[in-house]
Amino acid sequence: AKLKLAVVVGSNRTGSINLKLAKALVGLAGDRVDARFIQIDDLPLYNMDLEGSRPEAVNRFTSDVAACDAVLMVTPEHNRSIPAVLKNAIDWGSKPMDKNVWRGKATAITGTSPGAIGTAVGQQHLRQIMGILGGLVMGGEAYIAFKPDLIADDGSIAIDDTKAFLQTYMDNFLNVAEKLSA
Ligand code: FNR
């Protein structure tokens, strides 16, 4: 069966450059994946008081992620860490501990920002968080410094060497994710 890929974008901004990058990466994955973009912008702030009767949006979110074999996270960096909206979603998914949706899933982490180091510091934090949650975080790295001409009008990566780099990145990730889910 085709790999079911949860795509989690760490931005709730309509014009998000990370959403654009995530769509381009799904394009590079082609028909190897059945991609599901996971909604996180309607999750309430995590509150343990809500455990026991979790809000509907939270249950939708956790079952969407749980139904997938692997996770692709594409996130901006906020103040040299990950955006609060993403951390909030990760926290919901991590509880209760015996239903942690991140455990055992092949997880690729990337992201883009206009800054020169392209989310590198935020990605280190995310790598640590997903690792302690039992995610099988891919080695390698992809820090994408966003330039206005990076993504073409049709949504594909417009810069050839970046496209080739990201194709290899996705191929490596999917090779591992397919093995793990076999
Ligand atoms: C930023 N931005 C940013 N960029 C970066 O490279 N390193 C950083 O630490 C930060 N910090 C930061 C904090 C906050 C609160 C905001 C709102 C923004 C800029 C950020 O990369 C830029 O807004 C991107 O466009 C965000 O990605 P999306 O939302 O377009 O996907």
Closest CA to ligand 1's atom 21: 113
pTM: 0.98
Nearest to 104 by CA among 128, 134, 63, 64: 134
pLDDT per residue of the chain (182 residues) written in tens, 0 to 9: 899 999 999 999 999 999 999 999 999 999 999 999 999 999 999 999 999 999 999 999 999 999 999 999 999 999 999 999 999 999 999 999 999 999 999 999 999 999 999 999 999 999 999 999 999 999 999 999 999 999 999 999 999 999 999 999 999 999 999 999 98
- Decide: 120 in ligand 1 pocket, CB within 6 A: no
By residue range, what is the domain housing residue 53? 3-181
Q: What is the pLDDT of residue 105?
A: 98
- Decide: 147 in ligand 1 pocket, CB within 6 A: no
- What gap in Å lies between CA 143 and CA 149, rounded to an integer? 16
Residue of 37, 77, 124, 147 with the most ligand 1 atoms within 8 Å of its CB, for mutation: 77
- What gap in Å lies between CA 86 and CA 78, rounded to an integer? 10
- Decide: 79 in ligand 1 pocket, CB within 6 A: yes
ipTM for this model: 0.99
Q: What is the pLDDT of residue 1?
A: 87
- Phi first, then psi, for residue 161 (nearest 5°) are -70, -35
- The domain tally of the chain equals 1
CATH of the domain at 67: 3.40.50.360
The tokens for 123 are 């990605």
